[in-house]
Chains A and B, each alone.
Chain A
Amino acid sequence: MTALPLDKLTPPRPRDVEIDNTGNDPAQRAVLVTGSAGSIHQVTERVCAVWEAPKPPRAWYIAFGIANVFLMILGAMIGYLLFTGVGVWGLNRPNMWAFDITNFVFWVGIGHAGTLISAILFLFRQKWRTGINRFAEAMTIFAVVCAGTFPGIHVGRAWLAYWLAPIPNQMGMWPNFFSPLLWDVFAVSTYANVSILFWYMGMVPDLATFRDRAKTKLKFMIYGLLSLGWRGSNRHWHIYEKAYLLLAALATPLVLSVHSVVSFDFAVSQVPGWHTTIFPPYFVAGAIFSGFAMVITLAIPARNLFGLKQFITLRHLDNMAKIILVTGCMVSYAYLLEFFIAWYSGSPFEQFHFMNREFGNMWWAGWIMFSCNAIVPHLFWFKWCRQNQFALMVICLLVNVGMWFERFVIIVVGLTRDFLPSSWHNYMPTYVEILTLAGSFGLFFTLFLLFCRFLPMVAMAEIKAVLPEANPHHHHGPPQSHPEDLAVSQH
């Protein structure tokens, strides 16, 4: 490409080119940022370009509009619920929980991948995490926001939900520390706090970059406040790295604990199909499984839309698909083990529950769960499926569907047919529940789209540390070049 006069006025935006970096050469580490993006300057330029663009792409507006409609639906449904009563849902006796807690557990599960990527993969020195950790963490926080909505609104007297918190009061009335629901309150709120802290702290250097590049006073003020006076001094970096490591160490057990505790809601009770000791590891595996599926579901449109293909490379997708495969196998193992234990326990209630799950009144739910979670992920044994964006998208959406149904099956199938046949009753959701679930996606995507527009989607500071430039002696191979990419990579 020859330089045109116009180019001098507005430098051409570097083309976002898909470069295959999934090959494994034993002699060299795979490159983590491909093509022309792989220079320290380009990282800043390209990530900031999303924020600095005068207008986001048209697709952003469309997505934001749709998400907002669903957000408003969520508001309307919650308003109707609070002013009328939980009866507007399809709940009954014995199905006192259904969509509400299913959605809660589903969203908490989604919220797992972010912290796993940012904390556990950090501790394990998995440097490829840097490409995806920022928005995976954002996804975590927004998922926890969605998750936190449901326990709050599902209670019969939502205006008193604060009684779940241990607030000192004149009656000396404390919550019941025996109750797994109370453990949930602590687990989820701790997780939300640490995740937000971790996310925000990791963002401070990047926010400072935004501050420095701000073109208006308002942006300068806002990002200036958010960046907490970051100057990038050696001392700053030293303290930052230490704090990041400590927070990672703190967040790591939380990744395992939060869903373990959520699983106690079920495991500690005695409803057939709930009362299972395998639940904590099974739920954590399932959460990571669904969380990574959601990361991929978000990453594929985001990298295409905002020109981040060279940061979120095919190798990232491939790695995440492998994690999905591994956790999917764990989940499948848990499913099979549940059947074995039901038989081995000799409890006819358990045995009946598992027969009923697959062949009873809600067999379809059981089979959606089993096929989406235990059969479909095995497609990831094929490399093509791990690297084809379309296949990835379809499989990950199915995994998300399957994982929603997993929670639905556990909660509802267990309750519909519990101990006394006289109380058996099927469950059907009302439009309010279905729209509330849809509305929670509206909330999630509204927050996520705002994040994409106004915050650094890729951890610039971190990703620079894994570039070959930053690490000349221990580098990840030379930047792979591409004919079309070459013209602009000569800066």
Chain B
Amino acid sequence: MMHYSARGGFRMANKLTNGTTHGTGKKYFRSLDEVAQTPRFKEFLEREFPVGASEWLGASRRTVLKILGASAALAGLASCRRWPAEQLAPYAHRPANRSDGVPVHYATATEIGGVGIGLVAKSYDGRPTKIEGNVNHPLSAGASSTLIQASVLDLYDPDRSRNLYSHDKSGKSIIATWDEFIQASEKIPADGNGLVVLSEASRSPSIAALRKKLPQAKWFEYEAVSTDAQRAAAKKLYGRPLRAVPSIDKAQVVVAVEADLFAGDLDCIKYSRDFAAGRKLHASPDRSSTMNRLWCIESTFSNTGANADHRRGVKPSEVFTVAGALLQTLGGTPLESTKLDSSLRDFVQKLAADLEAHKGQSVLIAGARASADVHAITASLNELLGNVGKTVHYYADPEDPRSDTDWTPHSQQLQAFNDAATTADALLIIGANIAYTAPSDLKIPETLAKAKLSIHLGTHRDETARLCTWHLPQAHYLEAWGDVRTFDGTVSITQPLIEPIFGAKSTIEILSILSREKKSGYDIVRETAAADYLAGRFSEWNWKKSLFDGLVAGSARAPETIGKSDAFTILPAPSGGDLELTFITDKLHDGRYANNGWLMELPDPMTRLTWDNALLISEADAKKRGIWNNEIVTITVGSTNLDATIFVLPGQPVGSVALALGYGRTSAGSVGNAVGTNAYLLRTSSNYLYIPQVTLASTGRKNDLASVQDHNVIDAVGAKRKKALIPELVVEGTFADYVHKPALGARKVVSLSMFNEHKYDQGHKWGLAIDLTTCTGCSACVIACQAENNIPIVGKRQVLGGREMHWLRIDRYFKHEGDHTQALHQPVMCFHCENAPCEEVCPVAATTHSDEGLNMMTYNRCIGTRYCSNNCPYKVRRFNFFDFNSGTIENQYIPNLLRAEKSELIHMQKNPEVTVRSRGVMEKCSYCVQRIEGARIKLRAENRATANDARIADGSIQTACQQSCPTGAIVFGDLNDPHARVTKLHALAQSYGLLDPELNTKPRTQFLAKVRNPLPDLDAELYRSEDEAEGFYWQHTEHSATPPAEHSHPDDHSHSASSASTPHSAH
């Protein structure tokens, strides 16, 4: 299906100028003065607008035009509604497949840092509101990540650049027009001679094709955070900078070395899905089937480490040592003898043995923080273990602007750009915000300032834009045509859903202007398709099918076959200092998402911090230096100083501090400016991944970090209680225990009631299951929920005050035994308790139960007594303390009548199916009731005859969190359907309701206990088998682990599904 609404229709006004103006008919006149052309008449004509009309003589025609343009632009600024008049009129004939208010879905694609991701965008009346993964796409497979979910908000960012700016050398910037830019760009020769381009990474065939049309231009690519080191290693080992693609799903043993497999890495959707494939314990009735094992070696505590079965945190310089020791143990290239302490040596021995036992079924993955040497070690280990071709495949990357022969990684590209820029006539910077992200020793701002003509194409007027002589607004991917290849070569076409809101243009359109072709994005992509990925089979049908499917069938490439690796030498392990600083990436990636409020307020999976990056430090290091949470310290590296706020992260390796990149922006926008610390100021070409020696000095100042968990220091009494309580809240156990005793301590409740309770035996009975084993804590669900349910952001001050609005939160608990720290993630949203404590206390009946078991909020009825939240043991209810949806995050404390309203633009993202809540009302997870009702309406419309009997089929409703979850940990469905997945999951022995034994709330959301798969003889203190400590109040019932038999009756609605030994509840 093609989307035509984005093309045409919007430019009607321009066509009016073609109307006739001068005829040749009879001459009429208005007065005799006119005929006589008397001086009086001439003056009258001149002074038609009598006061001041003719006085302004100093301005040139151009200035007048500029001012006119600026006025028009400012007028546009004041009202940014994008409703073309003709769409407001009712249709005389409704276009096919179009009903007002009924959303349409279009396949599209985006790319982040050169990683192409196939998507499906949902659009209401020409307004994209929600992004999902494309089920057919090899990378997303229907799921998504935090960045993908949040990308729709960027489209409506009020701080996006709305104009072209031309800067003169005096530093003044003038609003310009595209025509002016085209005129200016003609100074650059059509073949690109003298042009030096620095681009963000892109794997777009169209860009690659356009590059060929500027043959003389020098092209460089830079990404501040990338896994280019992996390709550098491949070049070293195999002579070509091939891309290694791991298939974790085919591996029994997975080793992550400095890799953020589940949240930080741009391929995280695929990694998470593949990882979960080896952990779906409930998928097979045979419990003794195997489970994969994740090992993790890292210099911080990432959520990959939190999910690892065995993890070692080491200093960044020691990662190399540990990896080298592993290679040595497995008989690879001999290295210099490495010194490991006994614990690490034991770890390496056991890991080596585990890998040895799983040859061809293991995979080692090094991530963005790992050096090329570490990548070389993991690559040669993969080769040594026979994993290549089985769990690791190498792919070529022909869209890369760097040729295979003189390929250098991103870390060196910027240096080369810097050198080339000195002799260039013109610079073109596409997307990359190098003035902010470049290593500080390269002095990029100086290079840019020196350039005579520098053109910046970007979505925001960022730090780089302000240093260039031209800034061009770059189109969002939902506004422009494009195409992109993903890791295996599969091409997806980026299909726009909306006309560029601010007249921005895409990269391909700009390149086309530079090559003088000036083609539209649509034409460029079609031509590329015909010449490249649809070559020889291009037809309207194939084109449309590719658009409809979201990918070009048959465009995937075969993996490259590689020979034996070349022998390589590894330099001796660089020695580290006593405190090393490692650069990490979090939700803001390299900082480009700093102005995205959803991401800024997304709690980090490990620190649970919002609105700040903090210097993560181990408890031992902090105590040694007498510093603690919220204290500002000065980090000193050589002569460079940087202030950062301390956050003591349990599990952070001793001797290693970590600081996330992407904060401390100065020209990000109203959300991202001056938030956190700019770690790039410490990054240099030589200290690119980590700094081997830093010193910290307390400044005595404080900055309150807005963590959504552990808001305050927990006192001794609370800490003791917390420690005792957590094992009851997050049930976990080892795979070995699970095989014998699948309940793992999960307690089921036998409910006896004095009341004649509602039976829920008619119709549907909605329920949700969350598998803690496969939940990685990546938080894609949190943003998906935010996008779907119109959840506002509240700002740092409100988060500090405990008022964040996320309906779905991911609780994180640490477990500390001996030297080891583990972390657990537990998504918590409304559990839709059958005995909902919130409902009976509401005095106005604003929260009630549906006969399908939904705990519903009636916003219109809510007066905001907040009693429901007090009585909710899970604290999942959110209260609108202010009118978060209309004000800005700065003016909440100003009375509503006196303050400025939020930009209208942001409201365009809102999902029209979900009420936007006003202040003073309570809100919470609704199980995406709008999706349930949508499915019901669809079913009834399709199935009119049997509308009343028709049941919504299992799987036809996905909650927003479920849809985004890359591991499929969340399953929603009808508990009255014995074949529904959720019913089967609830019946498992390891399924339990949070606090259900204590409070008898009968939650409809149940957790499946977390299972880890450790070796029996490693980290034993973390995995002590808990001998079912008998709780004092409820009996522990052991359940059969087999899913309910096919014949189980739908009336069997009790949570204690099957146990014959349990008494029946009294109805």
Interface residues in chain A, defined as those with a beta carbon under 8 Å from any beta carbon in chain B: 80, 83-88, 90-97, 154-158, 160-161, 163-164, 173-176, 178-182, 185, 265, 268-271, 346-349, 352, 355-356, 359-361, 415, 417-426
Q: How far is the CA of A179 from the CA of B837 in the complex (A)?
A: 11
| A87 engages B892 (CB within 8 Å) | yes
| A83 engages B895 (CB within 8 Å) | yes
Residue of A nearest to B810 (CB): A422
What residues on B are CB-neighbors of A92 within 8 Å? 801-803
| A96 engages B869 (CB within 8 Å) | yes
Q: How far is the CA of A178 from the CA of B838 in the complex (A)?
A: 11
| B866 engages A94 (CB within 8 Å) | no
Q: How far is the CA of A97 from the CA of B918 in the complex (A)?
A: 20
B353 close to chain A: CB less than 8 A: no
Q: Quick one: which of B710, B801, B877, B994 contacts A90, CB cutoff 8 A?
A: B801
Given A156-B864, A356-B717, A422-B709, the answer on whether A164 and B871 have CB atoms closer than 8 Å is no
| B864 engages A422 (CB within 8 Å) | no
Within 8 A of A (CB), among B127-161: none
Given A270-B871, A270-B999, A426-B712, the answer on whether A155 and B920 have CB atoms closer than 8 Å is yes
**A169–chain B nearest beta-carbon distance, Å:** 12
Interface of A is mostly: loop
Q: How far is the CA of A176 from the CA of B844 in the complex (A)?
A: 5
Q: How far is the CA of A355 from the CA of B998 in the complex (A)?
A: 19
| A85 engages B874 (CB within 8 Å) | no
| B844 engages A164 (CB within 8 Å) | yes
B916 close to chain A: CB less than 8 A: no
Q: Quick one: which of B826, B880, B895 contacts A80, CB cutoff 8 A?
A: B895
Q: Quick one: which of A83, A161, A163, A355 contacts B897, CB cutoff 8 A?
A: A83
| B863 engages A93 (CB within 8 Å) | no
What residues on B are CB-neighbors of A181 within 8 Å? 841-843, 865, 867
Interface residues in chain B, defined as those with a beta carbon under 8 Å from any beta carbon in chain A: 709-712, 714-715, 717-718, 721-722, 724-726, 729, 798, 801-803, 809, 811-813, 826, 828, 837, 840-845, 861-867, 869-871, 873-875, 877-883, 892-897, 918-922, 994-995, 998-999, 1032-1033
Given A96-B879, A356-B718, A361-B718, the answer on whether A418 and B841 have CB atoms closer than 8 Å is no
**B955–chain A nearest beta-carbon distance, Å:** 31
Q: How far is the CA of A161 from the CA of B892 in the complex (A)?
A: 23
13 contacts between A and B (CB under 8 A): A84-B896, A85-B882, A87-B882, A92-B801, A94-B875, A181-B867, A268-B841, A270-B873, A271-B870, A360-B718, A361-B714, A417-B721, A420-B874
Interface of B is mostly: loop
Given A173-B861, A425-B711, the answer on whether A156 and B866 have CB atoms closer than 8 Å is yes
Given A97-B866, A269-B837, the answer on whether A421 and B880 have CB atoms closer than 8 Å is no
Task: Identify the interface centre among B880, B919, B920: most chain A CB within 10 Å of its CB.
Answer: B920
**B732–chain A nearest beta-carbon distance, Å:** 16
Q: Which 7 A-B pairs have the closest CB atoms?
A: A156-B864, A156-B920, A92-B802, A87-B881, A96-B866, A83-B895, A423-B875
| B712 engages A425 (CB within 8 Å) | yes
Q: Quick one: which of A95, A156, A421 contacts B718, CB cutoff 8 A?
A: A421
Q: How far is the CA of A270 from the CA of B882 in the complex (A)?
A: 27
What residues on A are CB-neighbors of B843 within 8 Å? 164, 175-176, 179, 181-182, 185
**B809–chain A nearest beta-carbon distance, Å:** 8
What residues on A are CB-neighbors of B895 within 8 Å? 80, 83-84
Given A85-B882, A85-B883, A417-B718, the answer on whether A156 and B867 have CB atoms closer than 8 Å is no
What residues on A are CB-neighbors of B715 within 8 Å? 360-361
**B706–chain A nearest beta-carbon distance, Å:** 12
Supply 20 further A-B pairs (C-beta < 8 A) apart from A179-B867, A181-B842. A84-B893, A85-B919, A86-B919, A86-B920, A96-B879, A155-B920, A163-B863, A174-B845, A176-B840, A176-B844, A179-B841, A180-B841, A347-B998, A355-B717, A356-B721, A359-B717, A361-B718, A423-B874, A424-B710, A426-B712
**B1033–chain A nearest beta-carbon distance, Å:** 7
Q: How far is the CA of A96 from the CA of B844 in the complex (A)?
A: 17
| A93 engages B712 (CB within 8 Å) | no
Q: How far is the CA of A160 from the CA of B843 in the complex (A)?
A: 12
Q: How far is the CA of A31 from the CA of B1014 in the complex (A)?
A: 86
**A164–chain B nearest beta-carbon distance, Å:** 5
Q: How far is the CA of A176 from the CA of B858 in the complex (A)?
A: 13
Q: How far is the CA of A96 from the CA of B869 in the complex (A)?
A: 7
**B890–chain A nearest beta-carbon distance, Å:** 14
Residue of A nearest to B870 (CB): A96
| A157 engages B717 (CB within 8 Å) | no
| B803 engages A155 (CB within 8 Å) | no
What residues on B are CB-neighbors of A417 within 8 Å? 718, 721
Q: How far is the CA of A175 from the CA of B883 in the complex (A)?
A: 25
| B724 engages A93 (CB within 8 Å) | no
| A176 engages B842 (CB within 8 Å) | yes
**B874–chain A nearest beta-carbon distance, Å:** 6
Q: Quick one: which of A91, A160, A420 contacts B729, CB cutoff 8 A?
A: A420
Q: How far is the CA of A83 from the CA of B899 in the complex (A)?
A: 11
